[in-house]
Amino acid sequence: MSLADLTQASLSRVASAATAEELEAIRVEVLGRKGTLANLSKDFGKLSPEERAAFGKDLNAAKQSLESAFDARKAGFDSAALTARLDAEWLDLTIPPAGQRPGSLHPLTQIQREIEQLFTSLGFAVLDGPEVESEYNNFDALNIPAEHPARDMQDTFWLDGGFCLRTHTSPVQVRGMKLLKPPFRMIAPGRVFRNEEVDASHEHTFYQLEGMMVDRNVSVANLIYFMKTLLSGIFGREVTVRLRPGYFPFVEPGFELDIQCLLCDGAGCPVCKQSGWVELLPCGLVHPNVLRLGGIDPEEWNGFAFGLGMTRLVMMRYGIEDIRQLQGGDLRFLKQF
């Protein structure tokens, strides 16, 4: 085969090679040390000097054109391979790693943090109290002496030595009055315990958030303002509230604060039992006895207090129908939040 024919035939084989391996095989066959091109130059010695010069030139030109054809094809295969690999192996950095999933905050924790943020922005300190509390702080200091019938309102887990599992967060008021000098504002979120028969709406363990503000000339109007601010913040919209008289020994006057039902805007629906109102927040002006027992002169200072049922609030906000789901530890439930 002449050099020109060989070059032509090889170039078209290069052009039609289907894979990088096939291309490489052709390269070895044509340009390799024992390839067809090398074979052709074997007879070099038999040529005359003029023929040798001319043939050498042709040979080099053929070699160069073949090499650049090979290189171009090779580059084509390489980049196609790279593209295919990038398509197959691309890395999505937004996919969470398999196995451990990022956790999420429990809905109670979420709501607690929101309320804390809101109240700290209003100048309230966030206090913590122990879950095992003295009988004195849980009851007596809140104007509920032994034998007071109000003790029966809260089924209590009694412990030895004058202690109990706190039945409400109100004892943190007692601690707050000793810790902070008036004027002060404080909230105290936390876990409380009642010796309850457990069902869809009663748990032996639930969460409250206590609030107390002590200053000069605190009025019910101040109380309403803060409660409206709190509830509007939590529900993300303006809420309408009303006060009804309510009895708690540690406040006087004491109220049940209702909000106009957010589902029916007061028209009446199953959630508000057709009344248009939902009972949400017991509160009142701090009883002078409580201030006195807390070392604060009720002639000079007064204040308001409230006890928000955080568990109840979470259930309302997310439409949770069974209180037991909140502490049940079922991840399928918790992962929704």
Residues making contact with ligand DAH (CB under 6 A): 168, 170, 210, 248, 251, 282-284, 305-307
264 sits in which H/E element: none
- CB closer to ligand DAH, 99 vs 245: 245
Helices 20-31 and 3-16: angle between axes, nearest 10 degrees: 170
Closest by alpha carbon to 29, among 45, 13, 15?
13
User: Please, which residue, 63 or 191, has the CB nearer to ligand DAH?
Assistant: 191
Residues 166 and 129: beta-carbon distance below 8 Å: yes
Using CA atoms, how far residue 110 sits from 75, 103, 142, in Å, is 57, 13, 29
Q: Give 37 or 188: the residue with its C-beta nearer to ligand DAH.
A: 188
Shortest Cβ distance from residue 309 to ligand DAH (Å)? 8
CB of 162 to ligand DAH, least distance (A): 20
Complex with ligand DAH: residue 40 or 150, whichever CB lies closer: 150
Sign of dihedral through CA atoms 157, 144, 112, 317? positive
Question: Cβ-closest residue to ligand DAH?
Answer: 307
Q: Residue 168 CB, nearest distance to ligand DAH (Å)?
A: 3
Minimum CB distance to ligand DAH, residue 182 (Å): 17
Least distance from ligand DAH to the Cβ atom of residue 222, Å: 14
Q: How far is the CB of 268 from ligand DAH (least distance, A)?
A: 27
Q: H helices then E strands: how many in the chain?
A: 11, 10
Q: Which is nearer to ligand DAH, 280 or 305 (CB)?
A: 305
Query: Phi/psi zone of residue 265: left (φ > 0), alpha (ψ -120 to 50 degrees), beta?
Result: left
Nearer to ligand DAH, 207 or 277 (CB): 207
Distances (CA, A) of 71 to 11, 15, 46, 164, 189: 12, 11, 32, 86, 73
C-alpha pair distances (Å), 95 with each of 83, 91, 101, 336: 22, 9, 10, 18
Task: Using the minimum distance from each CB to ligand DAH, give the nearer residue, 164 or 283.
Answer: 283
User: In angstroms, what is the minimal distance from the CB of 336 to ligand DAH?
Assistant: 28
